[in-house]
Amino acid sequence: MALCVTEANGAGVDSVEVGTASAPADAAVAIGAQAIASGNSSLAIGSQANAQNDGALAVGAGATAQGDSAVAVGLSSSAKGEGASAFGPYANAQAERATAVGLDASALGVDSVATGSGSMAANSAASAFGSQSTATSVGSTALGYVAQAGGANSLAAGAWASALADSSVALGSNTLVSGVGAIALGVAAQASGAYASAIGFGATAAGAGAIALGSNANASADNSVALGANASTTTDLSQSAFVPGGAGATPVAAPIATGEVSLGSANNESGLNNSFWTALALTAGIRQRLSG
Protein backbone atom coordinates (compact mmCIF):
# COMPACT_ATOMS: atom_id res chain seq x y z
CA MET A 1 0.00 0.00 0.00
CA ALA A 2 1.31 3.48 -0.83
CA LEU A 3 0.97 6.46 1.51
CA CYS A 4 0.74 9.80 -0.26
CA VAL A 5 0.28 13.03 1.65
CA THR A 6 -0.52 14.66 -1.66
CA GLU A 7 -1.87 13.15 -4.81
CA ALA A 8 -0.20 9.84 -5.67
CA ASN A 9 2.15 9.81 -8.64
CA GLY A 10 2.74 6.17 -9.42
CA ALA A 11 4.10 5.29 -6.00
CA GLY A 12 5.56 1.83 -5.48
CA VAL A 13 4.43 -0.81 -3.04
CA ASP A 14 4.77 0.34 0.58
CA SER A 15 6.40 3.56 -0.57
CA VAL A 16 5.82 7.08 0.77
CA GLU A 17 5.53 10.34 -1.16
CA VAL A 18 5.22 13.73 0.53
CA GLY A 19 4.66 16.95 -1.38
CA THR A 20 5.58 16.89 -5.04
CA ALA A 21 8.00 14.05 -4.40
CA SER A 22 8.07 10.78 -6.36
CA ALA A 23 8.74 7.28 -5.00
CA PRO A 24 8.08 4.87 -7.87
CA ALA A 25 10.09 1.99 -6.37
CA ASP A 26 8.97 -0.40 -3.65
CA ALA A 27 9.47 0.52 0.01
CA ALA A 28 10.90 3.87 -1.06
CA VAL A 29 10.46 7.22 0.70
CA ALA A 30 10.55 10.62 -1.00
CA ILE A 31 9.92 13.82 0.94
CA GLY A 32 10.33 17.32 -0.45
CA ALA A 33 9.68 19.33 -3.57
CA GLN A 34 10.53 17.19 -6.61
CA ALA A 35 12.43 14.68 -4.49
CA ILE A 36 12.82 11.29 -6.19
CA ALA A 37 13.40 7.88 -4.62
CA SER A 38 13.61 5.54 -7.59
CA GLY A 39 15.43 2.60 -6.04
CA ASN A 40 13.88 -0.10 -3.89
CA SER A 41 14.21 0.77 -0.19
CA SER A 42 15.72 4.13 -1.14
CA LEU A 43 15.27 7.42 0.72
CA ALA A 44 15.24 10.96 -0.68
CA ILE A 45 14.59 13.88 1.65
CA GLY A 46 14.90 17.50 0.57
CA SER A 47 14.09 19.67 -2.39
CA GLN A 48 15.21 17.86 -5.56
CA ALA A 49 16.97 15.15 -3.55
CA ASN A 50 17.54 12.08 -5.72
CA ALA A 51 18.10 8.49 -4.56
CA GLN A 52 18.37 6.44 -7.73
CA ASN A 53 19.40 2.90 -6.78
CA ASP A 54 18.45 0.18 -4.33
CA GLY A 55 19.19 1.16 -0.76
CA ALA A 56 20.41 4.62 -1.79
CA LEU A 57 20.01 7.54 0.61
CA ALA A 58 19.96 11.22 -0.37
CA VAL A 59 19.31 13.83 2.32
CA GLY A 60 19.53 17.55 1.65
CA ALA A 61 18.48 19.95 -1.04
CA GLY A 62 19.95 18.80 -4.34
CA ALA A 63 21.61 15.73 -2.80
CA THR A 64 22.20 12.84 -5.21
CA ALA A 65 22.84 9.18 -4.36
CA GLN A 66 23.44 7.12 -7.48
CA GLY A 67 24.52 3.55 -6.87
CA ASP A 68 23.39 0.66 -4.72
CA SER A 69 23.69 1.62 -1.03
CA ALA A 70 25.16 5.01 -1.92
CA VAL A 71 24.75 7.76 0.70
CA ALA A 72 24.71 11.52 0.14
CA VAL A 73 23.99 13.82 3.08
CA GLY A 74 24.26 17.57 2.77
CA LEU A 75 23.39 20.43 0.46
CA SER A 76 24.17 19.43 -3.15
CA SER A 77 26.22 16.47 -1.97
CA SER A 78 26.82 13.69 -4.49
CA ALA A 79 27.60 9.98 -4.09
CA LYS A 80 27.94 8.07 -7.37
CA GLY A 81 29.05 4.49 -7.22
CA GLU A 82 28.12 1.38 -5.28
CA GLY A 83 28.74 1.98 -1.59
CA ALA A 84 29.92 5.55 -2.14
CA SER A 85 29.40 8.04 0.72
CA ALA A 86 29.38 11.84 0.74
CA PHE A 87 28.77 13.83 3.91
CA GLY A 88 28.69 17.62 4.00
CA PRO A 89 27.69 20.50 1.75
CA TYR A 90 28.95 19.91 -1.80
CA ALA A 91 30.80 16.76 -0.71
CA ASN A 92 31.57 14.57 -3.72
CA ALA A 93 32.20 10.80 -3.78
CA GLN A 94 32.46 9.62 -7.36
CA ALA A 95 33.59 5.99 -7.34
CA GLU A 96 32.77 2.66 -5.77
CA ARG A 97 33.27 2.69 -1.99
CA ALA A 98 34.67 6.22 -2.11
CA THR A 99 34.14 8.37 0.99
CA ALA A 100 34.10 12.17 1.15
CA VAL A 101 33.52 13.99 4.44
CA GLY A 102 33.44 17.76 4.81
CA LEU A 103 32.55 20.92 2.94
CA ASP A 104 33.49 20.46 -0.73
CA ALA A 105 35.50 17.30 0.00
CA SER A 106 36.10 15.09 -3.05
CA ALA A 107 36.85 11.35 -3.22
CA LEU A 108 37.21 10.45 -6.88
CA GLY A 109 38.89 7.06 -6.95
CA VAL A 110 37.78 3.56 -6.00
CA ASP A 111 38.24 3.04 -2.23
CA SER A 112 39.48 6.60 -1.84
CA VAL A 113 38.91 8.72 1.29
CA ALA A 114 38.82 12.51 1.58
CA THR A 115 38.17 14.04 4.99
CA GLY A 116 38.26 17.78 5.66
CA SER A 117 37.07 20.96 4.02
CA GLY A 118 38.29 21.09 0.43
CA SER A 119 40.23 17.85 0.71
CA MET A 120 40.69 15.68 -2.38
CA ALA A 121 41.56 12.02 -2.94
CA ALA A 122 41.75 11.79 -6.70
CA ASN A 123 42.85 8.24 -7.39
CA SER A 124 42.26 4.64 -6.36
CA ALA A 125 43.13 3.86 -2.72
CA ALA A 126 44.21 7.48 -2.18
CA SER A 127 43.59 9.13 1.21
CA ALA A 128 43.52 12.81 2.14
CA PHE A 129 42.92 13.89 5.73
CA GLY A 130 42.86 17.58 6.63
CA SER A 131 41.54 20.80 5.18
CA GLN A 132 42.81 21.43 1.64
CA SER A 133 44.87 18.23 1.68
CA THR A 134 45.31 16.40 -1.64
CA ALA A 135 46.26 12.85 -2.59
CA THR A 136 46.35 12.55 -6.36
CA SER A 137 48.09 9.27 -7.19
CA VAL A 138 47.32 5.59 -6.63
CA GLY A 139 47.88 4.61 -3.00
CA SER A 140 49.00 8.08 -1.95
CA THR A 141 48.29 9.48 1.52
CA ALA A 142 48.19 13.11 2.67
CA LEU A 143 47.76 13.98 6.35
CA GLY A 144 47.54 17.58 7.53
CA TYR A 145 46.51 21.05 6.48
CA VAL A 146 47.36 21.60 2.78
CA ALA A 147 49.42 18.39 2.78
CA GLN A 148 50.08 17.10 -0.73
CA ALA A 149 50.85 13.53 -1.79
CA GLY A 150 51.43 13.55 -5.53
CA GLY A 151 53.39 10.39 -6.22
CA ALA A 152 52.18 6.81 -6.34
CA ASN A 153 52.33 5.24 -2.86
CA SER A 154 53.69 8.49 -1.45
CA LEU A 155 53.12 9.80 2.09
CA ALA A 156 52.95 13.44 3.18
CA ALA A 157 52.26 14.08 6.87
CA GLY A 158 52.27 17.54 8.41
CA ALA A 159 50.94 20.97 7.59
CA TRP A 160 52.10 21.98 4.10
CA ALA A 161 54.08 18.74 3.73
CA SER A 162 54.61 17.66 0.10
CA ALA A 163 55.58 14.23 -1.24
CA LEU A 164 55.58 14.69 -5.01
CA ALA A 165 57.43 11.66 -6.36
CA ASP A 166 56.60 7.97 -6.42
CA SER A 167 57.27 6.15 -3.12
CA SER A 168 58.42 9.37 -1.48
CA VAL A 169 57.90 10.21 2.20
CA ALA A 170 57.61 13.70 3.72
CA LEU A 171 57.13 13.91 7.48
CA GLY A 172 56.91 17.28 9.22
CA SER A 173 55.50 20.69 8.49
CA ASN A 174 56.79 22.33 5.30
CA THR A 175 58.76 19.24 4.28
CA LEU A 176 59.29 18.79 0.55
CA VAL A 177 60.24 15.60 -1.28
CA SER A 178 60.57 15.54 -5.07
CA GLY A 179 62.97 12.63 -5.56
CA VAL A 180 61.76 9.10 -6.31
CA GLY A 181 61.94 6.97 -3.17
CA ALA A 182 63.35 9.89 -1.17
CA ILE A 183 62.62 10.69 2.48
CA ALA A 184 62.47 14.00 4.36
CA LEU A 185 61.93 14.00 8.10
CA GLY A 186 61.81 17.24 10.09
CA VAL A 187 60.41 20.73 9.80
CA ALA A 188 61.34 22.27 6.42
CA ALA A 189 63.51 19.28 5.44
CA GLN A 190 63.92 18.73 1.69
CA ALA A 191 64.97 15.71 -0.37
CA SER A 192 65.16 16.26 -4.12
CA GLY A 193 67.63 13.54 -5.13
CA ALA A 194 66.44 10.07 -6.07
CA TYR A 195 66.48 7.82 -2.97
CA ALA A 196 67.97 10.63 -0.91
CA SER A 197 67.33 11.12 2.82
CA ALA A 198 67.11 14.42 4.71
CA ILE A 199 66.63 14.14 8.46
CA GLY A 200 66.55 17.14 10.77
CA PHE A 201 65.29 20.70 10.84
CA GLY A 202 66.02 22.31 7.48
CA ALA A 203 68.14 19.38 6.28
CA THR A 204 68.60 19.15 2.50
CA ALA A 205 69.58 16.14 0.39
CA ALA A 206 69.85 17.11 -3.27
CA GLY A 207 72.16 14.44 -4.62
CA ALA A 208 71.02 11.00 -5.75
CA GLY A 209 71.39 8.61 -2.83
CA ALA A 210 72.62 11.45 -0.61
CA ILE A 211 72.06 11.57 3.15
CA ALA A 212 71.79 14.75 5.22
CA LEU A 213 71.52 14.13 8.94
CA GLY A 214 71.28 17.03 11.35
CA SER A 215 69.86 20.50 11.63
CA ASN A 216 70.48 22.39 8.35
CA ALA A 217 72.78 19.64 7.05
CA ASN A 218 73.24 19.79 3.28
CA ALA A 219 74.22 16.82 1.09
CA SER A 220 74.32 18.15 -2.47
CA ALA A 221 76.58 15.61 -4.20
CA ASP A 222 75.48 12.18 -5.35
CA ASN A 223 76.08 9.36 -2.83
CA SER A 224 77.37 11.87 -0.28
CA VAL A 225 76.75 12.10 3.45
CA ALA A 226 76.50 15.30 5.50
CA LEU A 227 76.54 14.39 9.16
CA GLY A 228 75.83 16.87 11.94
CA ALA A 229 74.35 20.31 12.36
CA ASN A 230 75.23 22.64 9.47
CA ALA A 231 77.36 19.97 7.80
CA SER A 232 77.75 20.28 4.03
CA THR A 233 79.34 18.34 1.19
CA THR A 234 81.47 20.64 -0.95
CA THR A 235 84.53 18.60 -1.97
CA ASP A 236 85.49 18.58 -5.66
CA LEU A 237 85.03 14.90 -6.48
CA SER A 238 86.91 15.28 -9.77
CA GLN A 239 90.23 15.48 -7.87
CA SER A 240 92.23 12.34 -7.17
CA ALA A 241 91.21 10.32 -4.14
CA PHE A 242 92.80 10.75 -0.73
CA VAL A 243 95.98 8.79 0.06
CA PRO A 244 97.01 8.66 3.74
CA GLY A 245 100.44 10.00 4.71
CA GLY A 246 103.23 7.43 4.55
CA ALA A 247 101.44 5.28 1.99
CA GLY A 248 103.93 6.18 -0.71
CA ALA A 249 103.00 6.02 -4.34
CA THR A 250 100.78 2.96 -3.97
CA PRO A 251 97.12 3.96 -4.25
CA VAL A 252 95.00 2.78 -1.32
CA ALA A 253 91.68 4.32 -2.28
CA ALA A 254 89.50 4.25 -5.35
CA PRO A 255 91.05 6.41 -8.12
CA ILE A 256 87.75 8.21 -8.70
CA ALA A 257 85.61 9.22 -5.74
CA THR A 258 81.89 8.58 -6.10
CA GLY A 259 80.80 10.30 -2.92
CA GLU A 260 81.83 12.29 0.11
CA VAL A 261 81.39 12.03 3.86
CA SER A 262 81.40 15.38 5.63
CA LEU A 263 81.28 16.33 9.29
CA GLY A 264 80.64 20.03 9.61
CA SER A 265 81.45 22.60 6.94
CA ALA A 266 84.35 24.83 5.97
CA ASN A 267 85.66 26.62 9.09
CA ASN A 268 83.08 24.75 11.13
CA GLU A 269 84.50 21.23 11.18
CA SER A 270 83.55 18.55 13.66
CA GLY A 271 86.39 16.53 15.15
CA LEU A 272 87.11 12.89 14.33
CA ASN A 273 90.63 11.51 14.36
CA ASN A 274 92.48 10.75 11.15
CA SER A 275 92.61 7.01 11.82
CA PHE A 276 88.84 6.88 11.34
CA TRP A 277 89.06 8.59 7.97
CA THR A 278 92.01 6.46 6.89
CA ALA A 279 90.04 3.31 7.63
CA LEU A 280 87.06 4.71 5.79
CA ALA A 281 89.18 5.47 2.74
CA LEU A 282 90.68 2.00 2.74
CA THR A 283 87.33 0.21 3.01
CA ALA A 284 84.97 2.42 1.03
CA GLY A 285 87.16 4.29 -1.43
CA ILE A 286 85.28 7.53 -1.00
CA ARG A 287 86.22 11.16 -0.48
CA GLN A 288 86.51 12.45 3.07
CA ARG A 289 86.85 15.83 4.68
CA LEU A 290 89.65 15.62 7.22
CA SER A 291 89.76 17.65 10.40
CA GLY A 292 92.68 18.00 12.76
Predicted confidence (pLDDT) per residue in 46-73, tens digit? 999 999 999 999 999 999 999 999 999 9
Q: At 34, which amino acid appears?
A: Q
Instruction: Give dist(CA 254, CA 242) in Å, integer.
Output: 9
Q: Residue 79 in contact with residue 66, Cβ under 8 Å? A: yes
Asked if the model's pLDDT at residue 115 lies above 50, the reply is yes
> Smallest Cα–Cα separation from 287: which of 229, 221, 231, 228?
221
Handedness of CA 180, 185, 191, 194 (dihedral sign): negative
Q: Which of 57-66, 72-81, 206-215, 260-269 has the lowest mean pLDDT?
A: 260-269
On the CB side of 229, how many CA atoms lie within 13 Å of its CA? 2
Q: What are the beta bridge partners of residue 162?
A: 148, 176
pTM: 0.81
Enumerate helices (H) and strands (E) in the chain, giving the number of each: 1, 34
Report pLDDT digits (tens) over 215-251. 999 999 999 999 999 999 865 555 555 556 655 555 5
> Smallest Cα–Cα separation from 261: which of 249, 243, 276?
276
